[in-house]
């Protein structure tokens, strides 16, 4: 297997995402390979996710280098009007890509790394190759328009969204075993066996287990160890390929952390009770659960209720931070111009919901710094989601809490000196410009910055 390490190669970047792994849980015993990799890398010690800190928003931000308000994917759930009024739609569904394209003509509003590579001189290398064991939605936003090659259980495609032959399809499930199988193929086919300028591996752990088991408990620790082993295998393969680390930059990171669910709040029912929403399934004011955050949409005919909604939210003990109008921009969202145009101006749009609806408010749910039974700090209320993950005592994320906003980021090679640290705040929007700079491609149109030279 693999090519001789001496074979000449162009510059490449290898990106591994250990979904949900918190920076403070990396250590010599829990995750020995990552701990070692951190020592060999440039460590970003104040790394942050985006808001909402959900996998799909973060995946789109990693792929585009942009904040959610600019790439257009505003959460794990969004409110769309597909002809029957505003309703919540999970962006993780396999059909979300086609539904949002049918409604708005696009999936994301900024180009992905896969697209930028396909339009560059590096397209001949195969551009971007992505192996994802996340939800279909989180996988799709890495390459929604089929510029590169994407392997995922919901469907694997090559350039032009051309389906790959069945023998090449990836058929793994979330969890430890699936992640190990995806890593096998990623190392063999993408890292060692291919020449793609960008290789992305998205593991499901420790997120998958963390949502179902207590953080720091035996099952969660096994899941962290499994993600650690997968990341370690990729790091070894990259070292074999390019021992000096000059040509192949390795980025190992997570998209967000997790906190322990404290209370599950039925926000929808509370809005109905407060007279702000006509009925649980009404299309006037539509809250969407982002786990430990909530994002509220208002239909065109319900915009006059937004001030009352904001006042209501500010009085709730489960709402720690409330954003609306201009302050949505402070957290990377946008009301669609509501703050400047006023409630009466027409033509406003939240970036995809349709029919004049707007983003009315966003809430990061209430937190506590207390520890769970395994000594893992950080508790948070969550918004109940019909059919979603509503598990008190188990992991969740989505808000602005200290721990869910503490993913890790290690960069090895590519000119980043080993054994160093960046103390300034960094964000998952900085990955795309850092990768493009390493590959020698232009950086325009992104919110993030190249981390090369930042201290």
Please check whether residue 402 is in contact with residue 259, taking contact to mean a CB–CB distance below 8 angstroms: no
Nearer to Zn ion, 19 or 447 (CB): 19
Alpha carbon 46 to its chain's center: 17
283 lines the binding site for Zn ion (CB under 5 A): no
For residue 17, the minimal CB distance to Zn ion (Å) is: 8
For residue 339, the minimal CB distance to Zn ion (Å) is: 30
Q: Which residues contact 364 (CB under 8 A, 6 or more apart)?
A: 51, 292, 293, 319, 320, 321, 331, 399, 400, 401
Nearer to Zn ion, 145 or 255 (CB): 255
For residues 246 and 248, what is the distance between their CA atoms, to the nearest angstrom? 6
Nearer to Zn ion, 251 or 271 (CB): 251
55 lines the binding site for Zn ion (CB under 5 A): yes
Binders of Zn ion in range 63-92 (CB under 5 A): none
From the list 81, 242, 255, 404, which residue makes contact with Zn ion (rule: CB under 5 A)? 255
- Choose the stretch contacting Zn ion; rule: CB under 5 A; options: 48-56, 188-196, 216-224, 232-240: 48-56
What's the chain's length in residues? Answer: 455
Among candidate residues 312, 280, 302, the one with its CA nearest the CA of residue 348: 302
Residue nearest to Zn ion (CB): 55
For residue 86, the minimal CB distance to Zn ion (Å) is: 26
For residues 277 and 285, what is the distance between their CA atoms, to the nearest angstrom? 6
Order of strands, sheet of 319-323, starting from the edge strand that comes earlier in the sequence? 285-289, 293-298, 358-365, 319-323
Produce one character per residue of 223-242: b if its CB has 16 or more CB atoms within 10 Å, e if not: bbbbbbbbbbbbbebbbebb
Nearer to Zn ion, 62 or 190 (CB): 62
For residues 294 and 77, what is the distance between their CA atoms, to the nearest angstrom? 10
Nearer to Zn ion, 125 or 260 (CB): 260
Q: How many residues bind Zn ion (CB under 5 A)?
A: 4
- The token duo for 30 is 């829990």
19 lines the binding site for Zn ion (CB under 5 A): yes
For residues 357 and 351, what is the distance between their CA atoms, to the nearest angstrom? 9
- The token duo for 408 is 């890790």
For residue 261, the minimal CB distance to Zn ion (Å) is: 15
| SS3 at position 436 | helix
Nearer to Zn ion, 55 or 183 (CB): 55
For residues 19 and 30, what is the distance between their CA atoms, to the nearest angstrom? 16
| SS3 at position 224 | helix
205 lines the binding site for Zn ion (CB under 5 A): no
For residue 391, the minimal CB distance to Zn ion (Å) is: 16
For residue 31, the minimal CB distance to Zn ion (Å) is: 17
- Choose the stretch contacting Zn ion; rule: CB under 5 A; options: 54-62, 120-128, 329-337, 429-437: 54-62
Nearer to Zn ion, 19 or 334 (CB): 19
For 383, phi then psi, to 5°, come to -90, 125
Nearer to Zn ion, 57 or 283 (CB): 57
Nearer to Zn ion, 253 or 283 (CB): 253
Produce one character per residue of 394-420: b if its CB has 16 or more CB atoms within 10 Å, e if not: bbbbbbbbebbbbbbbbbbbbebebee
- The token duo for 123 is 């397209």
- Choose the stretch contacting Zn ion; rule: CB under 5 A; options: 18-26, 264-272, 321-329, 416-424: 18-26
For residue 259, the minimal CB distance to Zn ion (Å) is: 13
Q: Which residues contact 118 (CB under 8 A, 6 or more apart)?
A: 127, 128, 147, 148, 159
259 lines the binding site for Zn ion (CB under 5 A): no
For residue 393, the minimal CB distance to Zn ion (Å) is: 19
- Residue showing tokens 């506590």: 368
For residue 418, the minimal CB distance to Zn ion (Å) is: 27
- Choose the stretch contacting Zn ion; rule: CB under 5 A; options: 12-20, 210-218, 339-347, 383-391: 12-20
For residue 314, the minimal CB distance to Zn ion (Å) is: 29
- Choose the stretch contacting Zn ion; rule: CB under 5 A; options: 83-91, 207-215, 231-239, 307-315: 207-215
- Choose the stretch contacting Zn ion; rule: CB under 5 A; options: 51-59, 240-248, 274-282, 347-355: 51-59
- Choose the stretch contacting Zn ion; rule: CB under 5 A; options: 67-75, 114-122, 139-147, 247-255: 247-255
- Choose the stretch contacting Zn ion; rule: CB under 5 A; options: 43-51, 201-209, 348-356, 403-411: 201-209
Nearer to Zn ion, 389 or 454 (CB): 389
Helix segments in 192-257, DSSP class H: 207-210, 218-241
Binding site for Zn ion (CB under 5 A): 19, 55, 207, 255
């Amino acid at each position: 297997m693999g090519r001789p390490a001496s074979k000449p190669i162009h510059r490449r970047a290898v990106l591994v995402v250990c979904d949900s792994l918190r920076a403070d849980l990396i250590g010599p015993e829990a995750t020995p390979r990552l701990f070692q990799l951190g020592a060999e890398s440039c460590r970003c010690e104040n790394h942050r996710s985006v808001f909402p800190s959900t996998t799909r928003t973060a995946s789109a931000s990693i792929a585009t280098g942009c904040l959610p308000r600019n790439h257009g994917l505003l959460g794990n759930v969004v409110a769309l009007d597909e002809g029957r009024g505003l309703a919540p739609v999970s962006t993780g569904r396999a059909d979300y890509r086609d539904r949002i394209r049918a409604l708005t003509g696009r999936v994301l509003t900024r180009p992905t790394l896969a697209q930028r590579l396909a339009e560059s001189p590096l397209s001949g290398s195969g551009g971007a190759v992505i192996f994802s064991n996340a939800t279909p939605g989180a996988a799709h936003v890495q390459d929604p328009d089929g510029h590169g090659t994407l392997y995922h259980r919901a469907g694997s495609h090559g350039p032009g969204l051309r389906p790959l032959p069945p023998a090449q399809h990836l058929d793994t499930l979330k969890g430890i075993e699936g992640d190990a199988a995806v890593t096998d193929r990623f190392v063999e086919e993408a890292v060692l066996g291919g020449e793609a300028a960008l290789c992305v591996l998205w593991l499901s752990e420790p997120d998958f287990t963390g949502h179902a088991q207590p953080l720091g408990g035996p099952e969660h620790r096994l899941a962290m160890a499994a993600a650690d082993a997968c990341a370690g295998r990729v790091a070894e393969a990259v070292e074999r390929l390019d021992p000096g680390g000059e040509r192949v930059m390795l980025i190992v990171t997570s998209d967000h952390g997790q906190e322990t669910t404290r209370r599950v709040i039925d926000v929808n029912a509370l809005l109905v009770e407060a007279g702000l929403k006509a009925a649980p399934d009404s299309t006037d004011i539509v809250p969407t659960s982002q786990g430990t955050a909530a994002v509220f949409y208002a239909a065109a005919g319900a915009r006059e209720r937004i001030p009352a909604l904001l006042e209501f939210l500010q009085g709730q003990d489960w709402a720690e931070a409330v954003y609306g109008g201009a302050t949505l921009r402070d957290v990377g969202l946008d009301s669609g111009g509501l703050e400047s145009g006023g409630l009466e101006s027409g033509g406003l749009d939240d970036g995809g919901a349709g029919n004049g609806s707007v983003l009315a408010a966003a809430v990061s749910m209430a937190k506590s710094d207390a520890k769970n039974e395994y000594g893992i700090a950080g508790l948070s209320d969550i918004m109940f989601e019909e059919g979603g993950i509503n598990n008190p005592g188990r992991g969740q994320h989505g808000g602005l809490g200290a721990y869910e906003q503490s993913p890790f980021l290690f960069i090895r090679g590519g000119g980043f000196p080993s054994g160093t640290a960046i103390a300034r705040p960094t964000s998952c929007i900085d990955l795309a410009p850092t990768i493009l700079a390493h590959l020698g491609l232009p950086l325009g149109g992104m919110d993030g910055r190249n981390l090369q030279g930042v201290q």
